[in-house]
A and B are shown apart, each in its own frame.
Chain A
């Protein structure tokens, strides 16, 4: 496998709250290969966004704090990088697409101003005229019609889908090598979601960027991702190729997620939700943090006493899972076809 462009190792992030210390991300490690789309899935609060935001210095500090770990990007550890250096990387080599385009654009600045800002921050020498040309070009790239005119409009004159296109234009303004999409379609209508997926694909083709796709939409993962990281309660519980994850998951949580999907094919009558609630991250359950909700565990002592290590389940590809009894899933093998 090629040298990863971004390599996260043992990242641990804590937040100080009034109720105690919340360990939002614990010992998270994953690699991002050049040109791939890496999906990160998990419930709200599973640490998917925090793991990414913390390496870009975008979590408020305090209360947030990176306890340990590193995020090596092109030979440099982002965690140790001084704020000034990190700022040059943000929006430059590593850019972000935010979840809600309705609130992620400043209402008092025109679309052109905001995309142009992303251009100019990283190319201070660029004249206003050059910036404008580039901005229009970017808007056309993401499929905003009449870009020449719409560049001077304000966000309230844009629909949700158009705004998200503008956000994507902003993110790819400086040809990033890593694009982080934090739930890029969650706030949009289903029909618009499909369009944005196409725009994301186009943006990827244009910039050849690697993409980290944070979402809880497994459909989006199936559509876009090459590999998948499944997170639960701040930990990576399973990591593998997208087909492997969908066809033969080796963690009961992943299986639970797949089973709780509403599907249009098949004659499934009821959804199968995962029982219970995600655990409190202030006082996580001992042992495997998923055991209180796990159908596999069923009160086994091992699950309650020991945190399962990440174990490999394939010799030909990378596929790891954090479950003591993952073999039982393999034996049962109830493939959820994609």
Chain B
């Protein structure tokens, strides 16, 4: 083939400046339209559509093609509940992140003048205080921090484990798939709570990191199954075969060609995992096997409060409500993401 001139005579930086202004094309320098310069030297004419494209490019208008992600973003923001939930969660996350700034008191600070105060604006005890005079709003805020941290950690770690196992099983198939999936089934059949209680009794609890690891080792199973399923179908795609034919290694094909195509279900399920992890961590802490004092955790706060019965109702209600709000928001966001990233599974048309 002979060497070729660049397709348009104008240097790219100039081309960018040519704009459509109030419907009038303002040419910049030499004629912006570069159609006669045929980029194809096979002697064939450009089809009409290409010519129009050439006109558009020449005039500096890049036809704005929306990516899958921008469509997903549009779909997500149409989902009202999900957007509201996103803001609620962001606010909660912000509060948790800056707990020591936001909270009116420290989590173990005693206010002996206001023991068992019911929710009041006096001395900023909005959620009341407990038997020791500790401000419950501050304890909920700090508990929020621990719980969210554990939940995020669990979601990330279990997503990583589940994705790895699912990807390997789905990509290689056969014996590998069988072994890994039977192992997954095994984990899935374990009675979660019993195992968690045993594990935390055995390895010791209290440390948020340790609780997180134990939870993650149980939580990865649904993700492994989902990723495997997606991989099984992706494996048969022509572009995976094409990547193989161009000499790409297995790891490269998995990481570069298949994983990005799994992102949709992956993100949705990782999100829902966060909610699940918060609830289970709360249950664990409630039973006394999760986060240990003096670290406040939401589940632990409820457990502490329930001993006082209905008299000190605020001790149970506020941490409980917080958990409900977080779990609900995350689930709504997960729903929104599912609608946005996987339009085929849509239930309501927007």
CB distance from A7 to the nearest CB of B (A): 21
* Chain B residues numbered 215-260 whose CB sits less than 8 Å from any CB in chain A: 237-239, 241-249, 252, 256-257, 260
Closest to B6 in A: A148
- Beta-carbon contact of A87 and B249 below 8 Å: yes
Q: Using Cβ atoms and an 8 Å threshold, which residues of chain A touch B31?
A: none
In the complex, B149 has a CB within 8 A of chain A: no
Shortest Cβ gap from B234 to chain A (Å): 10
Number of interface residues, chain A, beta carbon within 8 A: 52
Range class of the B interface residue count: 35 or more
Q: Which of A62, A91, A144, A154 has the most CB of B within 10 A?
A: A91
Residues on B with C-beta less than 8 A from A140 are 4, 39
Pair B247/A92 contact, Cβ less than 8 Å: yes
What is the CA–CA distance of A154 and B68 in the complex, to the nearest angstrom? Answer: 10
Q: Which of B6, B40, B53, B68 has the most chain A CB atoms closer than 10 A to its own CB?
A: B40
B248's partner among A107, A121, A173, A201 (CB-CB below 8 A) is: A121
Contacts of A95 in B (CB 8 A): 245-246
Q: B50 near A145 (CB under 8 angstroms)?
A: yes
> Once the chains bind, are A104 and B57 in contact (CB under 8 Å)?
no
A109 contact set on B, CB distance < 8 A: 256-257, 260
Q: Which residues of A contact B261 (CB under 8 A)?
A: 106-108
Min distance, Cβ B175 to any Cβ of chain A, angstroms? 10
A153 at the interface (CB under 8 A from B): yes
User: In the assembled complex, how far is the CB of residue B289 from the closest CB belonging to chain A, in whole angstroms?
Assistant: 42
Binds A, one of B41-49, B96-104, B276-284, B324-332: B41-49
Q: Is B268 engaged at the interface, CB distance under 8 Å to the other chain?
A: no
Task: Tell me if A199 and B241 are in contact (CB < 8 A).
Answer: no
Chain A residue numbers with a CB within 8 Å of B12 are 148
0 or 1 for each of A199-240: is its CB under 8 Å from B? (1 = yes):
101100110000000000000000000000000000000000
- B25 → chain A closest CB, angstroms: 18
Cβ of B65 under 8 Å from chain A: yes
- From 110 to 168 in chain A, residues with beta carbon under 8 angstroms from any chain B beta carbon are 117-118, 121-122, 140-141, 143-149, 153-154, 156-157, 159, 167
Contacts of A100 in B (CB 8 A): 238
Inter-chain contact B42/A195, CB cutoff 8 Å: yes
Docked pose: A143 CA to B46 CA in angstroms: 10
A143 with B243: in contact, given A100-B238, A106-B261 (CB under 8 Å)?
no
A91:B246 contact, CB within 8 angstroms: yes
A117 adjacent to B238 (CB under 8 Å): no
Interface presence of B174 (CB below 8 A): yes
- Which of chain A's residues has its CB closest to B5's CB? A140
With A108-B261, A195-B44 known as contacts, the answer to whether A103 contacts B239 (CB < 8 A) is: yes
Q: Any chain B CB within 8 A of the CB of A170?
A: yes
Pair B239/A146 contact, Cβ less than 8 Å:
no
Residues on B with C-beta less than 8 A from A201 are 42
Indicate whether B169 reaches chain A with its CB closer than 8 angstroms: no
Residue of B nearest to A118 (CB): B246
- Provide a sorted-by-A list of 18 A–B residue pairs whose CB atoms are within 8 angstroms: A56-B245, A58-B241, A88-B247, A90-B245, A95-B246, A96-B245, A103-B239, A104-B238, A106-B257, A108-B68, A117-B248, A117-B252, A118-B247, A140-B39, A148-B7, A154-B67, A173-B246, A205-B1
Other than A106-B239, A107-B261, A195-B44, give 14 A-B pairs with Cβ distance below 8 A: A58-B244, A87-B247, A92-B247, A98-B238, A106-B260, A117-B246, A118-B246, A143-B41, A145-B7, A145-B39, A145-B46, A145-B53, A147-B7, A148-B12
Q: Which residues of A contact B (CB under 8 A)?
A: 56, 58, 62, 87-92, 95-96, 98-100, 103-109, 117-118, 121-122, 140-141, 143-149, 153-154, 156-157, 159, 167, 170-171, 173, 191, 194-195, 198-199, 201-202, 205-206
Residues of B near any A CB (own CB < 8 A): 1, 4, 6-8, 12, 39-44, 46-47, 49-50, 53-54, 57, 62, 65, 67-68, 174, 237-239, 241-249, 252, 256-257, 260-261, 263
